[in-house]
Amino acid sequence: MLQPFKGEISKPITVTTDKKGVYGVKCVPHYGMGMVALIVAGKPTNLDQARKVKQPGKAKKVFEELFAKVPAGN
């Protein structure tokens, strides 16, 4: 599990984890507009679980595109 984090506008942020899996990231003000990211840390062991998380409108579409890029046998 990745500790929840909050970045600041236009400031770089570094996040580390030692747990394998995929992690969804959302931009709070633009979440509904699809401003999201996906971090893949090692093997995507929780991919099926992550795909089931409900997402609003455009975020759902963008996450589907991102999930499609995750190598299955990574």
For residue 5, the 8-state DSSP code is -
Query: CA angle, 37 as apex, 29 and 71 as ends, to 5°?
Result: 165
CB of 23 to Cu ion, least distance (A): 17
Contact 14, 2 (CB under 8 A): no
Amino acid (1-letter code) at residue 52: K
Residue 25 or residue 35: which is nearer to Cu ion going by CB?
35
> Rule CB under 5 A: which residues touch Cu ion?
27, 30, 35
Residue 25 or residue 27: which is nearer to Cu ion going by CB?
27
Residue 19 or residue 30: which is nearer to Cu ion going by CB?
30
